[in-house]
C-alpha cells in the first residue's frame, strides 16, 4: 500500500480510477450474488469475516441479508463472525487470536454455505485461518482483498482483488462490491427488478 496519504481531490481521483477498473469485475460479482441467492433460498448460510474496516463491511453485508437491502423479502441466514462478541473473546482467550474466526466457521458452516473473507492485505492470519476452515467444511470461499497476489486470494475459490495504492480506496471499492452482491441476490430472488439498462444487456 502507498505510504503517501491521499487527501481531497487525490483521494477522489484514486477512487475514480479504482472504480473504473472495477467495472470489468461487475459480471463476476453479480454471479456471486446469484450463487448466494441459490444457497440462501435452499436454507444455506453466509458467514463473513474481516478485521477493522473489513469487519464493518462484513457486518454491513450480513445486515442487508438478515434485514433487507431495499425491498421486502424473507430473512436470510448470515453471520458476521466478529460481531459474536462473547464467542470471539472466549475463543481468542482459549485458543489464540488466529482461531477467532476459524472456530466459528467450524461451528456454523456447512457444506455448500458461503464464506466471504475480507482483508485489504490478503494476509490477515485470522481471516486466512477462517478460509482454510471453510474449505475443510466444504464451503465456498470468496475473498475481497487488495492487490494480487496475496495468500487469501490464492486460498479462495474466487477473489476480487483491488489494485489500488491506498487501503481506504480498496475498502471503498469493497463497499461497492457488497452492495452489488446484495442487489444481485434480491434480483435473483425476484423481489427487485434490475434497472432497464441492466435488463437489456
pLDDT digits (tens, 9 = 90+) for 68-111: 999 999 999 999 999 999 999 999 999 999 999 999 999 999 99
pLDDT digits (tens, 9 = 90+) for 17-56: 999 999 999 999 999 999 999 999 999 999 999 999 999 9
Which pLDDT belongs to residue 191? 86
Task: Give 190's contacts (C-beta < 8 A, 6+ positions apart).
Answer: none
Question: Does the residue 143 lie in any domain?
Answer: yes
Question: Does the residue 158 lie in any domain?
Answer: yes
Question: Does the residue 9 lie in any domain?
Answer: no
Question: Does the residue 152 lie in any domain?
Answer: yes
pLDDT digits (tens, 9 = 90+) for 142-193: 999 999 999 999 999 999 999 998 999 999 999 999 999 999 999 999 888 8
Closest CA to 178 of 81, 20, 48: 48
Q: Where are the beta strands (DSSP E) in 82-135?
A: 114-119
Question: Does the residue 14 lie in any domain?
Answer: no
Range of the domain at 134: 27-189
Closest CA to 153 of 107, 124, 122: 122
Question: What would the DSSP string read from start to end of 166-193?
Answer: SHHHHHHHHHHHHHHHHHHHHHHHTSSP
Question: Does the residue 120 lie in any domain?
Answer: yes
For residues 45 and 76, give the distance between their C-alpha atoms in angstroms, rounded to a whole number. Answer: 7
CATH number, domain of 78, equals 3.40.50.10490
Q: How many domains does the chain have?
A: 1
Amino acid at each position: 500500500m502507498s505510504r503517501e496519504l491521499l487527501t481531497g481531490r487525490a483521494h477522489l481521483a484514486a477512487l475514480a480510477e479504482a472504480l473504473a477498473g472495477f467495472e470489468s469485475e461487475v459480471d463476476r460479482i453479480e454471479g456471486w450474488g446469484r450463487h448466494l441467492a441459490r444457497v440462501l433460498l435452499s436454507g444455506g448460510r453466509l458467514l463473513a469475516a474481516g478485521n477493522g474496516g473489513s469487519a464493518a463491511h462484513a457486518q454491513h453485508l450480513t445486515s442487508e441479508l438478515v434485514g433487507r437491502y431495499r425491498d421486502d423479502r424473507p430473512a436470510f441466514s448470515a453471520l458476521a463472525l466478529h460481531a459474536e462478541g462473547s464467542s470471539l473473546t472466549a475463543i481468542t482467550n482459549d485458543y489464540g487470536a488466529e482461531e477467532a474466526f476459524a472456530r466459528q466457521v467450524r461451528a456454523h458452516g456447512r457444506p455448500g454455505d458461503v464464506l466471504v473473507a475480507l482483508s485489504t492485505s490478503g494476509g490477515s492470519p485470522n481471516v486466512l485461518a477462517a478460509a482454510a476452515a471453510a474449505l475443510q467444511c466444504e464451503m465456498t470461499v470468496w475473498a475481497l482483498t487488495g492487490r494480487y497476489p496475496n495468500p487469501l486470494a490464492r486460498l479462495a475459490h474466487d477473489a476480487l482483488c483491488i489494485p489500488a495504492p491506498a487501503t481506504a480506496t480498496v475498502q471503498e471499492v469493497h463497499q461497492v462490491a457488497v452492495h452489488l452482491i446484495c442487489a444481485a441476490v434480491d434480483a435473483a430472488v425476484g423481489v427487485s427488478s434490475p434497472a432497464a439498462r441492466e435488463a437489456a444487456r
